[in-house]
Structure 1
Amino acid sequence: MTTLAETVSDSIVITRRNLIKVKRVPDLIVAATLSPIMFVVLFRYVFGGAINLPDGITYAEFLLPGIFAQTVIFGSTITGASLADDMQKGLIDRFRSLPMSRSAVLIGRTVADLGLNAFSIMVMALTGLVVGWRINSSIAGAIGGFLILLVFAYAISWLMALVGLLVRTPEVVNNASFIVIFPLTFIANTFVPLESFPTALRRFAEWNPVSTVTQASRELFGNIPASAPEPAAWSLQNPVLYTLLWAAAILAVFIPLSVRAYLRSTR
């Protein structure tokens, strides 16, 4: 039975190992830098002239929080693919033979991926400033906007950790996560206002946590004009609370399930 201090120490070691690996895998570096830049530029100039928005907000200010949300959610799928890859290559068996905390492998993996997501957000934010995005709130509000994105992304990482431990094939993890996450990020207020949605899709989008994490970051960044009408759904009226409730629920369910699946896989 390992102590809390030993678990923290082992988790730091695994986190460092995973971050070092990022530098040595060109695909991860490209995904964390070039892909966010491409998404920001393409969506900004392809959709920018076609979307009708309320007076007082530019499409760049509407778009960037949505791009942030989409990117960190897709970035969280790296957790599942990486765990599946480690299991496929036998690295998990090596960890099992070491005198270390079992949960440290999962904690180190999710924390490292959180760092990669933070780097992606930084790249997108700098690109967004170039294409016209601005933060119109306080420093505290801006920090809160970035933090709520990362908190939600960290919760999704634990969900994907369970998928990676159950599937054990990186290709299947990537394909399965894309099939589920792609529609979730588009049936939301990420790229277009919900008023343009058919009624059934709009109801789903209003309670979709992707919509609320986007709405929460828009509010915290000051990217919603004062003249904008108040949303009808409670979830969008209280996006920060609703998003945090989702994040807490995901963590409460999937941390124990992931640890149990990891222990079962290493027996």
Structure 2
Amino acid sequence: MKDITYGHFVSDSWNLFRRNVKHLLRNPESLFVSIFLPVILMLLFVYVFGGAIHTGTEYVNYIVPGIIITCVGYASSMTAISVTQDMVGGMFDRLRSMPVHSSSLLIGHVAGSFIRNSISTILVIAVAFLTGFEANAGLLEWLAAIGILGLFLLAISWLSVVFGLLANTVETASSFTFIVMFLPYISSAFVPTDTMPTWLQAFAANQPMTPLIEAVRGYLIGTPNTNEVWLTLIWFGSLLIISFFLATAIYKRKSRT
């Protein structure tokens, strides 16, 4: 059996990433949820609900960050499900018997999830411009927004891996991610939080999705976002670190059983 070096780790992770991409392309449901659902949701909200919702700016300008965050939540269920399928379907046991780095399976899933969500984000922004989106961002603001979104994508991807490792069935994995899918609806994603009932405003304004959305929105259309940026870095930087170490610990524990 060969020694597993850094080069082998990179090669193993790359091969497992390619495998996840091929599975995505061969799975119409996953492809729809991850790539096309964000665009459909944005068009639905802009053209069906947008005329009745007043946010102080063009609704398409307001909604783009919220659509991106919401659909990453939907896509997180696909990541959790694919991890669970590997765990219960024999892929995990097969890799344990091979000279493959133990973490490469997790890296492959996270990389696949990150690329999948990045493609959907690019599509949403492209279609948004076609429907009248007007960004006030310069190069630095665009880079900052991309950085914030990248942190969020990585954090949610690793959290989804944790959910997938903890679940014993595909159905359970899907239900674990419900809160990630649900939180954007109780935030500033689609309407300002001050339009919500008083008893709901405190939660909506202080849960992690709202500062994230406001930070991205601020970079793209110029609304104030200094505090939101710091809160986003704290929330999702912490989530990324915790999720990474949790996923690694759970995976190693399962490897020993």
AA at the equivalent of 1:133? F
Structure 2 match to 1:233:
none
State the SS of the aligned residue for 1:251.
helix
Q: 3-state DSSP class of the match of 1:168?
A: coil
- Normalised to the residue count of structure 1, the TM-score between the two structures is 0.88
Matched ranges for 1:231-242 at <5 A: 237-242=226-231
* Structure 2: tracts of 5 or more residues without a match: none
1:27 matched to 2:26: no
Distance 1:223 1:44, change over 3 A: farther
The residue that corresponds to 1:220 in the other structure is 219
Match of 1:253 in 2: 242
CA–CA distance in structure 2, aligned partners of residues 194 and 222 of structure 1: 18
Deviations 1:51-93 (Å, cap 9, x if unpaired)? 2222xx2111001111111112322232211100111211111
**2:199 corresponds to which residue?**
200
1:72, 1:153 → 2: CA distance?
7
Distance 1:79 1:48 in 2: 31
1:159 alignment counterpart: 159
Q: CA RMSD in A?
A: 1.8
Return the letter of the residue paired with 1:265. K
SS in 2 for 1:100: coil
Q: Does the aligned pair in 2 maintain the 1:7–1:104 contact within 8 Å?
A: yes
Q: Give the match for residue 265 of structure 1.
A: 254
Q: State the one-letter code of the partner of 1:245.
A: I
Question: 2:55 is matched with which residue: 45, 53, 56?
Answer: 53
Q: How many Å apart are 1:253 and its aligned residue?
A: 1.4
Q: Per-residue deviation at 1:5?
A: 4.1
> Shift of residue 223 of structure 1?
5.0
Segment of structure 1 superposing worse, 58-67 or 163-172: 163-172
Aligned with 1:137: secondary structure?
coil
The separation in 2 between residues aligned to 1:139 and 1:21, in whole angstroms, is: 35
Aligned partners of 1:241, 1:7: CA distance in 2, in Å?
34
Contact 1:72 1:150 in 2 (8 A): no
d(CA) in 2 for partners of 1:163, 1:76: 10
**Where does 1:160-199 land on structure 2 (aligned, <5 Å)?**
160-178=160-178, 180-199=179-198
Contact 2:34–2:71 (Cα < 8 Å) also in 1: no
Q: Is the 8 A contact 1:72 1:149 kept in 2?
A: no
Give 1:16's aligned residue: 18
Superposition pairs for residues 95-106 of structure 1, below 5 Å? Answer: 95-106=95-106
Contact 1:152 1:244 in 2 (8 A): no
Name the aligned partner's letter for residue 240 of structure 1. Answer: V
- 8 Å CA contact retained: 1:76, 1:154: no
Mapped partners of 2:208, 2:95: distance in 1:
35
Q: Tell me the distance in 2 between the aligned counterparts of 1:32 and 1:184.
A: 18
State the percentage of identical aligned residues.
32
Paired with 1:6 and 1:242, the residues of 2 have a C-alpha distance of 38
Alpha-carbon separation, structure 2, partners of 1:73 and 1:181: 5
How many Å separate the matches in 2 of 1:2 and 1:135?
47
Structure 1 position 199, deviation (Å)? 2.4
Tell me by how many angstroms 1:38 deviates.
Answer: 1.2
1:73 corresponds to: 73
How far apart are the structure 2 equivalents of 1:109 and 1:154? 11
Q: Secondary structure at the match of 1:102?
A: coil
Mapped to 1, the partners of 2:46 and 2:19 lie a distance apart of: 36
Residue equivalent to 1:127: 127
Contact kept in structure 1, 2:68 and 2:121, CA below 8 Å: yes
Question: Alignment partner of 1:48: what SS?
Answer: helix
Q: Post-superposition shift, 1:50?
A: 1.6
Query: How far apart are residue 188 of structure 1 and its match?
Result: 0.3
> Is the CA contact 1:15–1:111 (under 8 Å) kept in the aligned structure 2?
yes
Deviation at 1:174, TM superposition (A): 1.3
Q: May I ask how many residue pairs the two structures share in their alignment?
A: 254
